[in-house]
């Protein structure tokens, strides 16, 4: 993967985190697509099917569906299966509400999309106050 190593988000919480990215081109529902016990995506037709979101900075297209994500992130956090940061093209307010409750950094609104500039395994930094997403190290897979 190539492209800029620093992207600026239109919106971000003021919290920050660094860690490995997990990149998806699909929309994701934390409530319906993820097994809370394991953090593994259980929806068969999802491009992350079988992958765990636990401990990852999840980089994905958009959140899907309902209000359930509001509690879902706190639930995942309490079980140790939550992502550590959230980066999406477009964030549904419910997702932001849930991220605030769970204390997880989140940002959205990019051009180009981080999905086009990042690969799973890249080490990335969410800098909340600066509203930036920075690639610190590319994964050797790409």
Instruction: Give contact residues for another protein (rule: CB under 8 A).
Output: 11-14, 27, 29, 31-33, 36, 42-43, 62-72, 74-75, 77-79, 89-90, 92-94, 96-98, 100-101, 106
DSSP string, 17-69: EEEEEEE-SS-B-TTTSB-TTT-BB--TTSTTTT-B-TTSEEEEEEB-S-TTH
Residue closer to another protein by CB (options 1, 90) is 90
Place of tokens 């209000």: 67
Residue closer to another protein by CB (options 82, 135) is 82
Residue closer to another protein by CB (options 79, 137) is 79
Whole-number minimum distance, CB 48 to another protein, in Å? Answer: 14
Which structure tokens are listed for 107? Answer: 């940002």
Residue closer to another protein by CB (options 55, 121) is 55
Whole-number minimum distance, CB 2 to another protein, in Å? Answer: 25
Whole-number minimum distance, CB 88 to another protein, in Å? Answer: 9
- Residue 140 to residue 55: CA distance in whole angstroms: 19
Whole-number minimum distance, CB 32 to another protein, in Å? Answer: 4
Residue closer to another protein by CB (options 14, 137) is 14
In three-state form (DSSP H/G/I as H, E/B as E, the rest C), the secondary structure along 29-42 is CCCCCECCCCCEEC
Which structure tokens are listed for 73? Answer: 């992130």
- Residue 51 to residue 54: CA distance in whole angstroms: 9
Whole-number minimum distance, CB 31 to another protein, in Å? Answer: 6
């Amino acid at each position: 993967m190539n492209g800029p190593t620093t992207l600026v988000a239109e919106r971000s919480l003021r919290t920050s985190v660094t860690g490995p990215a997990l990149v998806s081109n699909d929309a994701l529902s934390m409530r319906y697509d993820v097994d809370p016990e394991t953090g593994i995506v259980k929806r068969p037709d999802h491009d992350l099917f079988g992958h765990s979101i636990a401990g990852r900075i999840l980089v994905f297209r958009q959140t899907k569906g309902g209000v359930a994500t509001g509690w879902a992130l706190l639930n995942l956090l309490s079980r140790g299966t939550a992502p550590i940061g959230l980066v999406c093209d477009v964030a549904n307010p419910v997702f932001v509400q849930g991220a605030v409750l769970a204390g997880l950094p989140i940002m959205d609104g990019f051009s180009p999309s981080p999905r086009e500039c990042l690969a799973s395994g890249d080490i990335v930094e969410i800098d909340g106050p600066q509203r930036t997403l920075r690639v610190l190290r590319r994964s050797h897979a790409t």
